[in-house]
Chain A
Amino acid sequence: MGKFKKIFYSQKVAPYVFVLPFILSLIIFWAYPLISGIVMSFQEINFGNRTFIGLANYAKLAKDKFFAIAVGNSVEYMILTLILMIPIPLLLAVLMESRITKAKGVWKVIMYIPALTSVVISGMLFRMMFSESAGSQMNQLMLFLGKTPIAWLKAKWTAWIALLLLCMWRWTGVNMLYFVSGLKAIDGSIYESADIDGANAWQKFWYLTLPLIKPTTIYVITISVYAGLSMFLESFMLWNGNSSPKNIGLTIVGYLYKRGIEKNDLGYACAVGMVLMVIALAINVIQLIATGTFKKED
């Protein structure tokens, strides 16, 4: 026992004791489900009876038109959120950090508040604001503009206004704060020497801020790609369940949920998950190559 105690307390063994929970969690709650998900995607699972069916799930996926809609929607959503959620928060962050904005602390505190609101509550609020009755906020706006009320959530492009506004409402402040902290890490004296060289505000932004803030930009793009591709609950809340008219709100994870949880077709749902993983990793690698992260910097 004394010997065991001595080993346990030695400097060689201690780090392994510290990281043991992570190793266990890695094996039990990450590697195992990941591998089991890959295996299941090659199986047909009927109430516990598993049959190995090779690539049949994937072959079926390739012809599944609902899956095609889901992938289309998820990719479209990801692209639109990247367009909206990178440049705007970046510009807001630059403004926020510049000398001209007053009472910065107040705006920062308020702009983070939507992220505290759960997707259930914020989704419910947006659903009601975009409701089809004439009294809803958006239809009152339409009436004010001299137009007739519309059923926002029933047609794709009006519904996506709601979806994207919900996303912007929740995450603009968060992304802005990411960029603010990136800007704070930039050495201010660089701008002073640029001032001496007579650079204008635009040149300073384009030639100094943008390259220097690149690590933050890459980080925000990466999390936005993942969040965009795996979006589900926003749509789930906006349409009050997992079925939207003509599947305008169906996403990859929504389809995974529908197949796996609602229809209990686990093998097929796992194949959906694997496609999602491949798309996510592929986009990430392309993005990292494009932004030059893999290049050795000196």
Chain B
Amino acid sequence: MGKNKTMESNHRVASVLATGLFVLLCGFIAFPLLAGLLASFRPGRELVQNGLAINWDFRTMTLDNYKYLFGLGGDNSKVDSAKYFMWYKNSLILTILTVVLTLLVCYFVAYGLTMYKFKLQGFLFFMVIATMCVPFEILMLPLYQEVTTLHIINTRAGVILPGLCAASTIFFFRQYMQSLPHELLDAARIDGCTEYGISVKIMMPITKPAFASMAILCAMGSWNNMLWPMLVFRDTNKFTLQIGLNTLLTPYGNNYDLLIAGSMFGIIPILVIYLIFQRYLIEGMTSGAVKG
């Protein structure tokens, strides 16, 4: 009885320590975002002069940056606001297109690779892995030239097409489909379903959870993607939000009102999607890590 009691109190101390560690850690994680959020309610020039620090002084806070962001702060504000929301719209369209197209293409490729036995199967799956082993940065320059030659530079197609068959997405769909019963296919064939009909009407509904987790990962990647879109898009009016925000980061700091408010506002879409779907996200992200 006495031993049990000490064990129980040991357990309680360990529990407090471990949980405390995570509280501390999450504090550190929240810190830069909180500092940024608080700073978005102060003039941007303070950021340039003083740098960024947590500042709880509510009396000096204003909504001016956000008014400016929404075009309510004079003529400059109207111009800047229009520019910012054009980037925002570009990012939204690009993200939606990327997610829908990538998922559809990767689903069908994975379906073909998993549900059939055919000659090139082993080789093609090996190539899926091989493409993952070459960092994108190495292909970047030749790809840039190629996209220029194909006349899809400065277009959404130029950004989306090279990444359409994302190896990790194909890999994940394959992992997921392997666990599904293949007998379903034969049953559907007997019922007179065509090969393509089966892939759409029978398998796609069962694969919904995989679609959910890949959609979030893909959306995150696309919304935050920077390097490749930066090379492909040349006109200011085609910029995505990330490229646009980067252009505001000048050493003169004349645009920091817009930059800080725009940055905080730019996190919102992806944060909302994350909070709604985070259950699927963790599942999808970690699928490759367990089986190796």
Residues of A within 8 A of B (CB): 9-12, 14-19, 21-23, 25-26, 28-30, 32-34, 36-37, 40, 92, 95-96, 98-103, 106-122, 124-126, 128-137, 139-140, 169, 172-174, 177-182, 184-185, 215-216, 218-220, 226, 229-230, 232-233, 237, 240, 253, 256, 260-261, 266, 269-270, 273-274, 276-277, 280-281, 284, 293
- A-B pairs, top 9 by smallest CB distance, nearest first, are A18-B112, A136-B51, A135-B50, A131-B51, A215-B292, A128-B52, A181-B286, A15-B116, A14-B195
- Determine the distance from Cα of A273 to Cα of B95 in the docked complex, in whole angstroms: 28
Interface residues of B in 249-291 (CB under 8 A from A): 249, 251, 259, 263, 266-267, 270-271, 274-275, 278, 281-282, 285-291
- CB atoms of A101 and B35 under 8 A apart: no
B interface residue count range (under 10 / 10 to 19 / 20 to 34 / 35 or more): 35 or more
- CB atoms of B267 and A284 under 8 A apart: no
16 more A-B residue pairs beyond the given contacts A18-B199, A22-B127, A261-B144, with a C-beta to C-beta distance below 8 A? A14-B116, A19-B124, A29-B146, A30-B134, A100-B17, A100-B18, A101-B15, A116-B271, A120-B263, A128-B47, A133-B51, A140-B53, A177-B286, A232-B137, A256-B140, A273-B138
- Determine the distance from Cα of A22 to Cα of B109 in the docked complex, in whole angstroms: 6
Does residue B90 face the partner (Cβ distance < 8 Å to A)?
no
Does residue B184 face the partner (Cβ distance < 8 Å to A)?
no
- CB atoms of A129 and B35 under 8 A apart: yes
List of A residues within 8 angstroms of B115 by Cβ: 15
Q: Which of A18, A110, A119 contacts B224 (CB 8 A)?
A: A119
Main secondary structure of the interface of A (DSSP, over half): helix
6 pairs from A and B in contact (CB 8 Å cutoff)? A10-B195, A22-B109, A32-B142, A111-B25, A120-B226, A270-B141
Interface string of B111-146 (1 = CB under 8 A from A): 111011010110010011001011111111111111
- Determine the distance from Cα of A52 to Cα of B242 in the docked complex, in whole angstroms: 38
Interchain nearest-CB distance for A169 vs B (Å): 7
List of B residues within 8 angstroms of A15 by Cβ: 112-113, 115-116, 118, 121
List of B residues within 8 angstroms of A25 by Cβ: 161-162, 164-165
Q: With contacts defined as CB atoms under 8 Å apart, how many contacts are there between chain A and chain B in the complex?
A: 283
Interface residues of B in 26-43 (CB under 8 A from A): 26, 28-30, 32-33, 35-36, 39
- Determine the distance from Cα of A139 to Cα of B49 in the docked complex, in whole angstroms: 13
Residues of B within 8 A of A (CB): 11, 14-15, 17-19, 21-22, 25-26, 28-30, 32-33, 35-36, 39, 47, 49-54, 105, 108-109, 111-113, 115-116, 118, 120-121, 124, 127-128, 131, 133-146, 161-162, 164-165, 170, 194-196, 199, 220, 223-224, 226-227, 231, 242, 245-246, 249, 251, 259, 263, 266-267, 270-271, 274-275, 278, 281-282, 285-292
List of A residues within 8 angstroms of B274 by Cβ: 112-113, 116
Interchain nearest-CB distance for B156 vs A (Å): 15
- Determine the distance from Cα of A45 to Cα of B11 in the docked complex, in whole angstroms: 68
Interchain nearest-CB distance for B172 vs A (Å): 13
With A18-B108, A29-B161, A112-B274 known to touch, is A281 a contact of B224 (CB < 8 Å)?
A: no
Interchain nearest-CB distance for B197 vs A (Å): 9
- CB atoms of A19 and B127 under 8 A apart: no
List of B residues within 8 angstroms of A136 by Cβ: 50-53
Chain A residue nearest to B50 (CB atoms) is A135
- CB atoms of A40 and B142 under 8 A apart: yes
Q: Which of B29, B116, B141, B199 contacts A173 (CB 8 A)?
A: B29
With A15-B121, A23-B124 known to touch, is A256 a contact of B137 (CB < 8 Å)?
A: yes
Chain B residue nearest to A131 (CB atoms) is B51
Interchain nearest-CB distance for B63 vs A (Å): 20
List of B residues within 8 angstroms of A293 by Cβ: 292
Q: Which of B47, B108, B281, B286 contacts A21 (CB 8 A)?
A: B108
List of B residues within 8 angstroms of A23 by Cβ: 124
List of B residues within 8 angstroms of A169 by Cβ: 28-29, 32
- CB atoms of B165 and A22 under 8 A apart: yes
List of A residues within 8 angstroms of B39 by Cβ: 128
- CB atoms of A120 and B246 under 8 A apart: yes
| Candidate in B11, B52, B263 with the most chain A CB atoms within 10 angstroms | B52
List of B residues within 8 angstroms of A230 by Cβ: 135-137
Interchain nearest-CB distance for A267 vs B (Å): 10
With A107-B25, A129-B32 known to touch, is A36 a contact of B142 (CB < 8 Å)?
A: yes
With A17-B112, A113-B271 known to touch, is A36 a contact of B146 (CB < 8 Å)?
A: yes
- Determine the distance from Cα of A277 to Cα of B136 in the docked complex, in whole angstroms: 10
- CB atoms of A118 and B49 under 8 A apart: no
- Determine the distance from Cα of A99 to Cα of B275 in the docked complex, in whole angstroms: 25
List of B residues within 8 angstroms of A220 by Cβ: 289
- CB atoms of B141 and A226 under 8 A apart: no
Chain B residue nearest to A95 (CB atoms) is B18
- CB atoms of A95 and B21 under 8 A apart: yes
- Determine the distance from Cα of A100 to Cα of B17 in the docked complex, in whole angstroms: 9
